[in-house]
Amino acid sequence: MNRYDAFLIKYAEIGIKGKNRHVFEEALVRQIRIALRPCEGHFNVIRTYGRVFVEAKSEFDFEEVTEALSHVFGIWGICPVAVHDLMPLEELSKTAAAFMREEYPQGSHTFKVRTRRMNKEYPQDSLEINAELGHAVLEACPNLSVDVHTPEVTLCVEIREKLYIYSQVIPGPGGLPVGVGGKCMLLLSGGIDSPVAGYMVAKRGVRIDAVYFNAPPYTSERALQKVIDLAREISVYTGPIRLHNINFTEIQLYIYEQCPHDELTIIMRRYMMRIAERLAMENECLGLITGESIGQVASQTLAALAVTNEVCTLPVFRPLIGFDKEEIVRVSKKIGTYETSILPYEDCCTIFVAKHPVTKPRAEVIRKHEHNLDEKIEEMVERAIANDDIINISNYRPQQ
Ligand code: ATP
Ligand code: MG
């Protein structure tokens, strides 16, 4: 038997006051439901009294549920709650003391009691209840002592039509619930950076679609599988992702044939951006996201970024722009994408690379060389988009 019946979800109040509050809460409830789908057990996720509750309707695995909830953006803290029918104060004292004994079986901690009595029919007021419960806990738990000013733990008791008892707060990931901020198209490669970039933008409440430029047969099935795996790994945070798998081979070969080789990467990246923007606009995305960071490679010098950027009208979000590789690696390890990212499969950027790519491309020169593509590039871009292979990614694998 679990000693908890529910989880009280605490969220940062910033930005959610006023008219937007219900939008925020609805998105949070939706994302929590998605996150709980793969978990054993049945749950009710409800908004009540201006807060969000996850009620367990069956047995569940505590670790599995708290792990799933700890990936939901917008959650500041997760409080496991014991729910009881109303009971007289004497019995409540015993119940609360037993709860604390189980919560803190060892180690010394300071605590205080905080009662909120919303149900005014309960005979004693919150001060009386605090005092009574404090005594009972002290008696039952010799390892706890009172500190009303800066306690390490707070025993919270809420008296409504039922009794809610909790004291632990498991940290959530912060941020805003995915869905409150619209949607963006992430250029997702198999590398370390782009999954982290997607995670960071999703953390601000933005839903993610993704596009992967694939170059079969130069890139293998394994390379595609790696990108699918990465998308699945970030979907634990972002919720379901529609991954557009775009066959880029013919465009890449054509650029290779027609343009100076030291400009291949930059021209190729301009076509990636153009196609990504088309897909974004067709799918109600309000911007693009890349994993670029200033100076990381030749195609990410300021000059190269500017030349890549000029082909887009949608904003391009580059959340890693000021990050060192080491910092990016740290986040990728934290979110669990690193091990997949370092698998050694070819990416379309690593084939046909020039020995000395331009680091200071000039837009007018690049534009001029792109005219070498005029004859066929339009139809190739149309074909690539028409053959878009959409893969639906979610964290949910139905049980057999
Ligand atoms: P990453 O680690 O994300 O692959 P990178 O350091 O390899 O980045 P580049 O190859 O220059 O850097 O790519 C820069 C950005 O362009 C990537 O972060 C990604 O957003 C996008 N990108 C690169 N290759 C592809 C691809 N094959 N499909 C989709 N997007 C790509
Ligand atoms: Mg890459």
CATH code of 89's domain:
3.30.2130.30
Determine, yes or no, domain membership for 84: yes
* Residues 99 and 160 grouped into a single domain: yes
Pick 2 or 399 by higher pLDDT. 2
Q: Answer yes or no: are the C-beta atoms of 178 and 48 closer than 8 Å.
A: no
Q: Which residue bears the tokens 């000395």? A: 356
Do 167 and 188 lie in one domain? The reply is no
SS3 382: helix
Read off the CATH number of the domain in which 380 is found. 3.40.50.620
Number of H helices, E strands in the chain: 13, 15
What's the 290 CA to ligand 1 centre distance in angstroms? 7
Domain count of the fold of the chain? 2
DSSP string, 147-168: -SSS-SEEEEEEESSSEEEE--
Look at residue 176 and tell me if it is in a domain: no
Q: Are residues 320 and 347 in the same domain?
A: yes
Task: For residues 123 and 271, state if they share a domain.
Answer: no
21 and 161 share one domain: yes
User: Which two tokens mark 78?
Assistant: 């997760």
Distance from Cα 373 to the centre of ligand 2, integer Å: 24
Q: By CB neighbour count within 10 A (0-12 exposed, 13-18 middle, 19+ buried), where does 13 fall?
A: exposed
Closest atom of ligand 1 relative to the 211 alpha carbon: 29
Do 106 and 197 belong together in one domain?
no
Query: What is the distance in A from the centroid of ligand 1 to the CA of 74?
Result: 28
Which residue's alpha carbon is nearest to atom 18 within ligand 1? 291
pLDDT of residue 115: 97
Closest approach atom of ligand 1 to CA 194: 3
Residues 137 and 192 in one domain: no
Q: Nearest CA to 111 among 140, 84, 88?
A: 140
* Domain that includes residue 375, residue range: 183-393
The structure's pTM equals 0.91
Q: Which atom of ligand 1 lies closest to the CA of 227? A: 28
Q: What average pLDDT score do residues 162-183 get?
A: 94
- Residues 248, 345 share a domain: yes
pLDDT average, residue stretch 351-371: 87
Q: Is 398 a domain residue?
A: no
Shared-domain flag, residues 53 and 20 = yes
- The set of protein residues with a Cβ atom below 6 angstroms from ligand 1 is 187-189, 191-194, 211-213, 272, 290-292, 296-297, 299-300, 347-349
3-state SS class at 400: coil
Q: Which residue, 171, 201, 236, sits at the end of a domain? A: 171
What are 179's two structure tokens?
Answer: 């869905």
Are 218 and 298 in the same domain?
A: yes
- Please say which residue of 147, 171, 195 terminates a domain: 171
Look at residue 40 and tell me if it is in a domain.
yes
Q: Do 161 and 43 share a domain, yes or no?
A: yes
In a domain, 177, yes or no: no
Let me know if residue 88 belongs to a domain: yes
Q: For the segment 206-229, what is each residue's pLDDT rounded down to a tens digit?
A: 999 999 999 999 999 999 999 999
State both tokens at 321: 């722009």
Confidence at 173, pLDDT banded by 50, 70, 90: very high
HSE-up (13 A, CA, CB side) for residue 275 = 31
pLDDT of residue 355: 74
The length of the chain in residues reads 400
Residues 6+ apart with CB under 8 A from 344: none
Task: Say whether both 66 and 214 belong to one domain.
Answer: no
399 occurs within a structural domain: no
Residues 44-58 have a mean pLDDT of 90
pLDDT interval class at 353 (50, 70, 90): confident
Looking at 171, 199, 214, the residue that finishes a domain is 171
